[in-house]
Structure 1
Amino acid sequence: MEIFQVDDHIWAIDHELLGLPGVGVTYVARGEEVALIETGTALTAPQTLAGLEALNIPRDAVRHILCTHIHMDHCGGAGHLAAALPSATVYINSSVAEHLANPTKLMASVRRAVGEEAWPLHGELLPIPAERIRPAETLQLDLGRDVVLTAIATPGHSPDHLSYRDHKSGGLFIGDAAGLVMERWGLIFPVTPVPTYNLVAHQQTIAMLRELNLPRIFVTHYGPHDDVDHQLGFAAERLDELVDLVHRALADGDPDVDALAARWVPYPDDGPAGVVARSWSRMSVAGMIRYELKRRQAAENG
């Protein structure tokens, strides 16, 4: 577990997502009240709680837990953190809130998406009482001391995806809206997962974010980045590469997910980082293939 300050009022707790440093963080925004942005998985909750203790933040001082979207590496720890932080309300897009109250279907879907090799790294969600869950899509959260967080719809990676603008710094907690920037592991690419990925929405989101001229993005995977237009532009380029790869494979009649993933994200490491690289690249290829086949079927059906 590592803690680092990223702004006067924002810290990041590296909770060793999927068993590795440099893969995922929970951000801590402090005004008069404290908010956590992103939760990691169920297995990262102990590290996040240890990070709060190291920051001398009492558990009852955390009033808000914000999730960007319903995927388990972003909301999987929400139930465990809510149980340990009795004053906290959990915020997520209302279209998927039911999965935090009853996570059975979500866990089954994630297991299929990430594959059996990576599934043990996720843990199991703990249900959250419905009365502690609030809709995030219209959120404007005033933490005091000029720290205000506002939700922005950033669909594509998933239809429910939200990002949160920090008005004090001008930065944006971006979740997976533009992908991974895991420089420690040499993994920088957008993630396009099954089953609800939408290419057009993703491209529109990245274009919209570039138009905002953000001074900084706070990436869940991983860390703050000031070279915002470069990162967003590179994400758009990598997305185009994946689209072209999938189109060529479908034209050849041989869309082999493993082979395509190894071409798009070649990663020889057989250790834990290799598990993450293979899982997320396979998931992305599978998501793009599914999207394209559905798009073609819809076009044929008029």
Structure 2
Amino acid sequence: MHKITTLDDHWMGRPRSIGTALLESDGHYAIVDPGPGSTLHTLRKELGARGVSVGDLDALLLTHIHLDHAGASGALVRENPRVAVYVHKLGAPHMIDPSKLLASAARLWPDNLAELFGEALPVPESNLRILEGRETITLGPRKIEVAYTPGHAAHHVSYFEDFEGVAFVGDTTGVRIEGHPYVMPATPPPDIDLPLWDSSFARILERQPKRLFLTHFGFSENPAAHIAQFQERLHRWMETTEGILQAAKSDEQAMACFMATMRAEIGQHLPAEEVEQYVATAGLNLSFLGLARHARKRAQAAASVSKTTS
């Protein structure tokens, strides 16, 4: 039997916020992005409802190490010491010792980090399988190819399975709750890089997947149209952020303007009850911080070039 199932982790009690993909292939099991430690109990229940236990898992496939995607990994390894954890080489040190990852996250969520993400336990180095891109992972008869897809994060990879043509893209193609047409950027600091992101879009499209699986949330059936919409919006949000930073008198004013502008845009595309779902899932305030950081880096680079050539 070969199946791909969406497990809803019900993050913070919200359905369709964080999804874990369960891959079954002739009695072999892997999950893509196990989610944060705070949803571990729900993940166990979701697996159990499909007749699978944590002890049955052969592999955890991490698209990247952000806590909402990978925070539960150490706890799962403690429960199942034989499970292999696939992660990009830049993320691997932070799985072995998550202290810097947690310190960085605490700066973004100073008041409620534990409530949001729970505990992030270390992963023993012996469990890690280090990726750079272009590897092939075997899950029973299923082959899963790995591509390096930075832009959202420097340690981001995507996985392409060969039976159903599904690409597991993490946050590389944004946030789109299954059943809605709107695709929203998620651009938290510190790694946002639009030129790298554009190259990742090309890397995904050249493999011609039939469907995308987004951790936030679920399947998208037309990869080329999805990526075209997302790429256009991502660059437009970047340009909007640059304009806001030039006009605003303070960082606080810039943040408020960005939030109001993007909430209004989202509201043009989605029912009112879904707007808050998208805003909370993507962390709209964090998207501003990531875009602003990238905008300032671009401005500094342009100023340096101008100074050199003048």
TM-score by length of 1: 0.88
Query: Is the CA contact 1:72–1:122 (under 8 Å) kept in the aligned structure 2?
Result: yes
Using the alignment, how far apart are the partners of 1:189 and 1:115 within structure 2?
25
Equivalent residue number for residue 120 of structure 1 = 115
Q: Residue 63 of structure 1: which of 47, 58, 67 is its match?
A: 58
The verdict on how the C-alpha distance between 1:115 and 1:225 changes in structure 2, with shifts beyond 3 A counting, is farther
Counterpart for residue 264 of structure 1: 262
Distance between the aligned counterparts of 1:258 and 1:109, measured in 2? 23
Q: Can you list the C-alpha shifts for 1:121-167, whole angstroms capped at 9, x where unaligned?
A: 1112011112111203343111123x111111111001111000011
- What is the RMSD of the two structures over their aligned residues, measured on CA atoms? 2.5
Equivalent-residue separation in structure 2 for 1:127 and 1:272 (angstroms): 33
Q: Which moved more, 1:94-103 or 1:105-114?
A: 105-114
Q: Distance in 1 between matches of 2:96 and 2:105?
A: 16
- Residue aligned with 1:22, SS: coil
Shift of 1:185: 8.5
Please give the secondary structure, in 2, of the residue aligned with 1:191. Answer: coil
Gaps of 5+ in 1: 1-6
Q: C-alpha displacement at 1:276, in angstroms?
A: 1.3
| Equivalent residue letter for 1:175 | G
Deviation at 1:232, TM superposition (A): 1.1
1:301 is paired with a residue whose SS is helix
Aligned pairs, how many? Answer: 294
Q: Does 1:300 align with 2:268?
A: no
- Could you tell me which amino acid in structure 1 is paired with residue 284 of structure 2? S
Residue of structure 2 in register with 1:25 after alignment? 19
Distance 1:185 1:89 in 2: 34
3-state DSSP class of the match of 2:216? coil
Match of 1:76 in 2: 71
User: Within 5 A, what are the aligned runs for 1:197-236?
Assistant: 197-236=192-231
Cα offset, 1:109, TM superposition: 1.0
Q: Does 1:247 align with 2:242?
A: yes
Q: Is the alpha carbon distance of 1:292 and 1:275 closer, same or farther for their aligned partners in structure 2, counting shifts above 3 Å? A: closer
| Aligned equivalents of 1:148, 1:174: Cα separation in 2 | 16
Which residue matches 2:184?
189
**Counterparts of 1:114 and 1:185, CA distance in 2:** 28
Shift of 1:271: 11
**Identical residues among aligned pairs (%):** 27
Correspondence for 1:143:
139
With 110-119 and 203-212 compared, the bigger mean Cα shift is at 110-119
Within 2, Cα distance between the matches of 1:180 and 1:65? 21
Residues 149-195 of structure 1: per-residue CA shift (max 9 Å, x gap): 11111110011110000111111001000110025799731211101
Q: Hey, what does 1:276 align to over in structure 2?
A: 280
Q: TM-score, normalised by structure 2?
A: 0.86
Give, in whole Å, the separation in 2 of the partners of 1:236 and 1:194: 18
Distance 1:262 1:111, change over 3 A: farther
Is 1:163 aligned with 2:158?
Answer: yes
- 1:18 touches 1:276 (CA, 8 Å); kept in 2? no
Contact 1:41/1:122 (CA < 8 Å) preserved in 2?
yes
Q: Which residue of 2 aligns with 1:152?
A: 147
Given candidates 3, 7, 13, the residue that maps to 1:9 is 3
Q: Mark the runs of 5 or more structure 2 residues left unpaired by the alignment.
A: 306-310
Taking the aligned partners of 1:270 and 1:214, their CA distance within structure 2 comes to 28
Letter in 2 for 1:39: P
Structure 1 residues 251 and 213: alpha-carbon distance in aligned structure 2, compared to 1, 3 A threshold? same
SS in 1 for 2:90: helix
